[in-house]
Amino acid sequence: MKTQVTSTELYLPKVRSVLSNGLTLIVSRREGAPITAAQLMMRGGSSLDPVGQEGLAWLVGQLADQGTNQHDEAQLATRLEPCGGGLAGNQSGLSGYVAGEHWKVLLETLLEVARHSAYPNDPVRRQQQRLQARLRVAQENPQTQAAQRFLRLIYGKHWLGRPSHGTAETIGALDPKDLLTHHRNNWGPDRAILSICGDVDPAAVKRLVQRLTRGWERVGPVNKTKARFPKGGNRLDAFRKSRDQVHVFLGHLGVRRSNPDWATLVVMDHILGSGPGFTARITKRLRDEQGLAYSVYADIHSSAGRLPGRFRAYIGTSPQHVHTAVGGFLEEMRRIQNETVSKAELDLARDYLVGSFPLGFERASQRAAYLVSAEVHGHADDHLAVLPRVFASVTAKMVRDVARKHLQPDHCCLSASGPVTRRELTLALAQ
């Protein structure tokens, strides 16, 4: 029996337009919304970081609000704070929010920062020092080290295998002029997707954005190269550190978001390793039954993007339990490939996904982010209405079929940090 979709179908109204300068604008009106949120994505992101300058795109976004040609950092903050708003950036662009009626202030500030960030020397240097200190701490963190080494095992020399936030060394070597040059060369309207969600008039938003972006020069499309990743196989890495706990990551190259099996993989993940509470098999086995750890999970769908994500299973456990934990991961991967999941497991996963689905779109910021994502991935206008029905239609046979197709227990990479050796990992993976 299939899960019944009884909740009201989710639909985000939107008005999409492409301006004459190439900027893609998506406006979603939500009458009575107390908050207006905006998301500005710049295509390229961390893929534009030169080798040896990892973290450049991230720093450009992080420090874009340190001052423009018209206003310094304090003046920018003063514009938004009285309106209950804020602005933040990362390697993908900018996001911001305000109390609903002040949406014009939000767009004026966000687009001024996007167009005219100046990266003044003293503020940038201060922020670099602060971020360097954080990165030094992170570089000594065993879990961070294991996670980054896992990415290198999966992606090799591809930019996805490099630290998107850089290292203390690469961030420290950057000059404010490097940030300004990157911004000028890569932040242009023809690479921008701007979404805004709130109690706004789409026509008024478009007129304002057209005025605010007049004269903004195009920078040209992002140069694309064919993605090349290491061939599948058993590879491992260990970061030796004296700690009470070992952080373990196991997995392999995953799927793109456009993969037609993606929705079925979401259901599979909830049964295997990412379901809520104590429902997922890996969680029940390693945490509840064997008591190996509190934090444990596994999934393949959440990292899927325009490029392949990864299947990733994680556990933090004591050194004597590493072999058992890795064995548990591999055995559960094989079990979901070879045994049909139970009706109770399937119903629980489908009911949870269908019932909780609307909760991911309650906030204006979540809606604005989704509108950008939908543009990037080419989702149809009825995508949010269709997806819960797809979850509800997944069968036990479909779960087994996608597990056989996409899980690779015999070709996994293994990364761990803590009091563990490569020999111990080799023995664990060999099982």
Evaluate the CA torsion angle 412, 416, 422, 425 in order and state its sign.
negative
The architecture of the domain spanning 15-212 is: 2-Layer Sandwich (3.30)
Res. 124: pLDDT tops 70: yes
* CB 94, CB 110: distance < 8 Å: yes
Give the β-pairing of 296-299 and 310-317: antiparallel
List pLDDT tens digits, range 20-32. 999 999 999 999 9
3-state class (DSSP) for residue 339: coil
pLDDT at 225: 86
pLDDT band (50, 70, 90) for residue 95: very high
Q: Whole-prediction pTM value?
A: 0.93
Tokens of 393: 């239609």
List pLDDT tens digits, range 348-365. 999 999 999 999 999 999
The type of residue at 409 is P
Nearest one of 107, 253, 130 to 194, comparing CA atoms: 107
pLDDT at 5: 53
Give the β-pairing of 192-198 and 24-29: parallel
Query: b/e for 270-289, b at 16 or more Cβ within 10 A?
Result: bbbbbbeeebbbbbbbbbee
Domain spanning 235-430, CATH class:
alpha beta
pLDDT at 279: 82
Asked if 15-212 and 235-430 have one fold, the answer is: yes
Say how far apart CA 54 and CA 131 lie, in whole Å.
14
Say how far apart CA 212 and CA 206 lie, in whole Å.
10
Relative orientation angle of helices 343-356 and 383-393, to the nearest 10 degrees: 170
3-state class (DSSP) for residue 250: strand
Res. 239: pLDDT tops 80: yes
Nearest one of 193, 205, 204, 201 to 30, comparing CA atoms: 201
Ordered by start, the domain boundaries in the chain are 15-212, 235-430
Say how far apart CA 289 and CA 282 lie, in whole Å.
10
Say how far apart CA 14 and CA 29 lie, in whole Å.
7
Nearest one of 51, 71, 65 to 183, comparing CA atoms: 65
* CB 283, CB 337: distance < 8 Å: no
* CB 51, CB 163: distance < 8 Å: no
What mean pLDDT do residues 168-176 have?
Answer: 95
Tell me which of 103 and 294 has the higher pLDDT. 103
What mean pLDDT do residues 325-338 have?
Answer: 97
Say how far apart CA 71 and CA 77 lie, in whole Å.
10
Query: b/e for 311-347, b at 16 or more Cβ within 10 A?
Result: bbbbbbbebebbbbbbebbbebbeebbeeebeeebbe
